[in-house]
Amino acid sequence: MKTVAMSKTVETSSRGWTRHDTVWTLGIYGCAVGGGSLFWPVTLGAHGFWPMVLLTLLAFPVTYFPYLALARFVLAGATHGKHSGNVLDTTNEFLGPKWGRFLTATYFFTVFPVMMIYAITITNTLIDFSKTQLHIDDVSRWVVAPVSIAALMLIVRFGTNVIVRTMSMIVAPFIISIVFFGFLAAAHWNFSIVSTASQVPTIKLLSSSIWDGLPVTVFAFAFTSIVSSFVVAQKEHYGQAARTKVPRILFAATALAVSTMAFFSWSCIFALSPQELVTLKASNLTILSFLARKFDTPALAIASQLIVFTAIIKAFLAHYLATEESARSFGKNFLRLSDSTVSGKSFSWLVIISVFVITVGAAIYNLNVINLITSLFVPANVFIVYFLPLYALFKIEALAPYRRKPTNLLVLAVGLFCLASGVLSIIGKLTG
């Protein structure tokens, strides 16, 4: 009787919107919109008005449909014993251990480059803040990088529960601050970017703009690291009703992320000239740091730095957890380490030291963030988000109803596009 009553309660709650749904919507938003999202306006406005419009319109479909396909793949996995039915369990269940090892390696090389991106971003932001707001010119990257990253790694040692609780508490204020900053920037609008609307781009120019901008758009709203945990939580909470709940929550989270970031991005872009947007792209700074430098407005400067720091810290911590988890899976699947070994303190410290050394090195060298996104993150990410679910559609009978969805063509096209862009970018760096 107790089980029946619980089942009825879950079935009833699945028909409407619940607090559980809101928590996960904010959780996905918090993972999707981070420090990397603050580079989206840089690429969005760098090629003129019409490419900006097109990339904005593409942002929702190239985010929602691929992650929906990945979520449906995880939904097909069984939950039993020690298997939670996450993405790795589902891959092993339907595609075999070889695919499981491939996914483990790909996942690791998806989340780890993001750690470097955020390390570089927080170092550049702190140096720029010191120069523009504190008027301290002699700031060494050799000091800022290790100290700031060490502080973030110290937070990590408080444990997963503290990190997740802290992140969930700051998501709602972060959304409010993004929208608030959009209104603050409105006082400085000059609309010079709109003047480029009279210059209708050729197909070649438009294609080049999308070639540069689409990979960054994919990265700006990526939440690969949370999809598996999200779907597992819905299966545990809603049972069979998770099949209808997952798309609704994903839709709400994606719509919220794209709408708030589009408003924020357009508002910031309207406050800059086309020439300044080109300078911004070359500066390796977020658009907030650039605006804080341009306008001598205390409210604008303080708000911008708070948003940057909050976004980077939130995203860095989230991706560290994903990096450590993927490192454990990597150790078990490839190095044949035991569960006790990868769960021990020694292994955790090995991951911490490795992350610290590599991210500090990247921050001191000041690697180009846009190039890292295009060359490292996006090519690895497309295998998990774009190709794996599509391949699974034709291997798993439970996914057969989704095989003829027109959106599968969009997922395939964006995946191939981003993969080609990343591969050619790598070849260009090696031959250049």
| Alpha helices (H) along 133-159 | 141-156
Percent of the chain with pLDDT over 70: 88
- Please write the tens of the pLDDT for every residue from 41-54: 888 887 788 989 99
Q: What is the per-residue pLDDT for 226?
A: 83
Percent of the chain with pLDDT over 90: 22
Question: At 165, is the pLDDT very low, low, confident or very high (cuts 50, 70, 90)?
Answer: low
Q: What is the per-residue pLDDT for 81?
A: 60
CATH class of 18-431: mainly alpha
Q: Is 29 exposed, middle or buried (0-12, 13-18, 19+ CB in 10 A)?
A: buried
**Are 267 and 52 within 8 A, CB to CB?**
no
Distance of CA 89 to the CA centre of its chain: 23
Looking at the predicted structure, is the pLDDT value of residue 312 above 80?
no
Q: What is the per-residue pLDDT for 54?
A: 92
Q: Is 258 exposed, middle or buried (0-12, 13-18, 19+ CB in 10 A)?
A: buried
d(CA 1, CA 386) in angstroms, rounded, equals: 43
Place of tokens 């709203």: 221
From 202-216, 248-262, 277-291, the region with the lowest mean pLDDT: 277-291
d(CA 7, CA 12) in angstroms, rounded, equals: 9
d(CA 175, CA 193) in angstroms, rounded, equals: 25
Nearest to 426 by CA among 376, 356, 368, 365: 376
- Please write the tens of the pLDDT for every residue from 16-73: 899 889 888 988 888 888 766 877 888 888 778 898 999 999 999 999 999 999 999 9
**Are 163 and 321 within 8 A, CB to CB?**
yes
- Please write the tens of the pLDDT for every residue from 382-426: 888 889 899 999 888 889 999 999 999 999 999 998 888 877 877
**Are 312 and 121 within 8 A, CB to CB?**
yes
Q: What is the per-residue pLDDT for 207?
A: 85
- Please write the tens of the pLDDT for every residue from 147-164: 999 988 887 777 655 666
Can you give the pTM of this predicted structure? 0.81
